[in-house]
Amino acid sequence: MSVGIRELTRRALLPAFTGLTAAAGTIFTGFGRSAPEGGLISEARAEGSGGVRANQGNLAHIKGASVTALRMAEWADAGPGRGPNSVAASSGSVSRAPANASRYEAKLFSFPCGALRVLTFGKGGPVHHQITFETEIFVLQGSATLIPLRGLSGKPTKVSAGDALFLPSGILIDPQAREDFVILQAIVGNPFPGAKQSTVTAKQAQHSEQVQWRQDGKAYSATTPEEIKAAPANASRYGIKRYVFDGNSFRVATLKKGTRTNMVAPSRSDVLMYVAKGRARRTEDNETFDLVAGDAFRERMGKPGSWEALDDLILVATDAPVTVGAPGSGWTAAVAAASREGTTLYEMGIDHNNRSTVGVITMPMQKISDLESISAKQDAVEFRIGYRTFFPRTRTHPDYQSDSGPFSLGVGGSPHFVARMVGGTENTMQDGSVFRQTAGEFVYVRPGSLHHSNQLGVVPGVVMNVVLPGTEDDTHPLVVK
């Protein structure tokens, strides 16, 4: 079987079918220089985190006791076309999960600038978690092994309490947890172009001592050994461990009971913080927030504030920059420009960190007339057409619901094209980039490319899949004729 991809102009709105036994084509009104900038598949720059509700733009403190612990289940599923992982996030789907599934609790803290999420796997049970939208992971307790997704490169890596992962990819596993396994996920932006994946262990983290005090109405701080030695005896002293990544970091601050910091305003971005231990009081202008272990807090950029440790205290912090203007991944300026050069198709691709992202494929076309162009015939093995249930809300809406949840990602499966015939699809990639597919548009799905496809709309959708030769292990870029 072979398939020719045909491009028709907006004046020639006709289906295009070619091939020997069966084939399919589609109208690419959104591609190429003949289309308006952006085409029908619109650019969308979004993070993987969920949204907040109306009037929550100034949200700073989320109490852990106020967050519902969502019961979830994940398990390996090597069934044909299903990829290596299945996830259940609704009460019904969790109850139907197999007996050997990994079961855990998830708590989500959504802020306007990003989100924190805490996953707790119980002692004695299996650990199985496919990494999805989280951009950073800090291991609060226990240990597990990170293995690569099927078909992608990488070696098994053990991570333990105090270790941190940046732009991770793969699956965290442990057949039987010796103790509770607890991880803190950060879903935040990163403006650093080409940021590289890394693992920073507790031993590799950079430790420093911070000394702060006030004298004669002025705030002072000391960081060098000489300054610290000369600091007054009543100065507040606390330690910070820095886990430095490309474009961001985790900071773990340890404060003894009674320690007070100076009033400081975040200058680079908002900062998301999680109280891992103890009690704290945060003061900002005329506002006072009392926090306990399990709470999350957002230090707002430009807003001065201070911390007081009411007990021995551990805070885990990371920046949450807004990257809409200059994203470091996904919808970069280069991808946006490439999408408007010649005849291009969008793809669910894989970046240099083995995380899925939006990409483009150049499709050579032969002009037949002023209204029509066609590609060379591409090898294919089958096609199928089916309905898709629609959802009225976007994935990041606070009330979005699905059996697998808004943080699930499906794997690409065998190499295939997806043609949207009726309705629309909101596709979110692992790096948070979003592209929307409407009726008449083709997208290539690369094996190994994780994605969350939400059939967004108010009518049932119709989708046609064109399957190409190959298996789910063929994660290399598509070769077109």
Statement to judge: residues 125 and 252 lie in one domain: no
**Is residue 442, in this structure, part of any structural domain at all?**
yes
Give the C-alpha separation, 154 to 156, whole Å: 7
| pTM reported for the whole predicted model | 0.88
Query: Beta strand pairing status for 344-350 and 441-445?
Result: parallel
**Is residue 56, in this structure, part of any structural domain at all?**
no
The pLDDT value recorded for residue 8 is 42
**Is residue 446, in this structure, part of any structural domain at all?**
yes
Statement to judge: residues 446 and 399 lie in one domain: yes
**Is residue 110, in this structure, part of any structural domain at all?**
yes
* DSSP assigned state of 64: G
Give the model confidence (pLDDT) of 102-161 as tens digits: 999 999 999 999 999 999 999 999 999 999 999 999 999 999 999 999 889 999 999 999
Of the candidates 133, 129, 136, the one whose C-alpha atom is nearest the C-alpha of residue 84 is 129
* DSSP assigned state of 475: -
Statement to judge: residues 140 and 263 lie in one domain: no
Q: What band does 12 get if pLDDT is binned at 50, 70 and 90?
A: very low
CA angle 216, 222, 226 (to 5 degrees): 115
Across the beta sheet with 85-88, the strand order is 85-88, 70-76, 102-111, 114-121, 181-187, 136-141, 164-166, 198-200
Q: Residue 411's CB: how many other CB atoms inside 10 A?
A: 22
The dihedral sign for the CA sequence 169, 135, 50, 254: positive
Residue scoring higher pLDDT (178 or 397):
178
Parent domain of 103? 61-193
Residue 91 — φ and ψ, nearest 5°? -60, -40
Of the candidates 121, 139, 140, 117, the one whose C-alpha atom is nearest the C-alpha of residue 129 is 121
Statement to judge: residues 331 and 305 lie in one domain: no
Give the model confidence (pLDDT) of 224-272 as tens digits: 888 888 888 888 899 999 999 998 999 999 999 999 999 989 988 999 9
Residue 225 — φ and ψ, nearest 5°? -55, -40
Report the number of distinct structural domains present in the chain. Answer: 3
> Token pair 């109850």 is at which residue?
95
Give the C-alpha separation, 236 to 221, whole Å: 9
Last residue of a domain, one of 165, 193, 221: 193
- 268 three-state secondary structure: coil
Q: What is the largest CA-CA distance in the chain?
A: 87
Q: Is the pLDDT of residue 341 over 80?
A: no
**Is residue 199, in this structure, part of any structural domain at all?**
no
Q: Residue 16's CB: how many other CB atoms inside 10 A?
A: 18
Statement to judge: residues 97 and 212 lie in one domain: no
Statement to judge: residues 339 and 462 lie in one domain: yes
Statement to judge: residues 20 and 103 lie in one domain: no
Last residue of a domain, one of 320, 348, 363: 320
Last residue of a domain, one of 129, 162, 193: 193
The string of DSSP letters for 338-374 reads: HTTSSSEEEEEEE-TTS-EEEEEEE---EEEETTEEE
Beta strand residue intervals within 33-78, DSSP E: 43-45, 61-62, 70-76
The token pair at 242 is 């820095």
**Is residue 478, in this structure, part of any structural domain at all?**
no
Q: What band does 79 get if pLDDT is binned at 50, 70 and 90?
A: low
For residues 106 and 117, the answer to whether their CB atoms sit within 8 Å is yes
Statement to judge: residues 105 and 186 lie in one domain: yes
Give the C-alpha separation, 212 to 221, whole Å: 4
Statement to judge: residues 329 and 463 lie in one domain: yes
Statement to judge: residues 371 and 417 lie in one domain: yes
Statement to judge: residues 457 and 427 lie in one domain: yes
Statement to judge: residues 343 and 248 lie in one domain: no
Q: Which of 45-54, 74-83, 197-206 has the highest mean pLDDT?
A: 197-206
**Is residue 52, in this structure, part of any structural domain at all?**
no
> Token pair 């979003």 is at which residue?
434
**Is residue 153, in this structure, part of any structural domain at all?**
yes
For residues 111 and 52, the answer to whether their CB atoms sit within 8 Å is yes
Give the domain CATH number at 110: 2.60.120.10
Give the model confidence (pLDDT) of 405-423 as tens digits: 889 998 878 899 998 888 8
For residues 469 and 146, the answer to whether their CB atoms sit within 8 Å is no
Bridge-partner residues for 433, per DSSP? Answer: 45
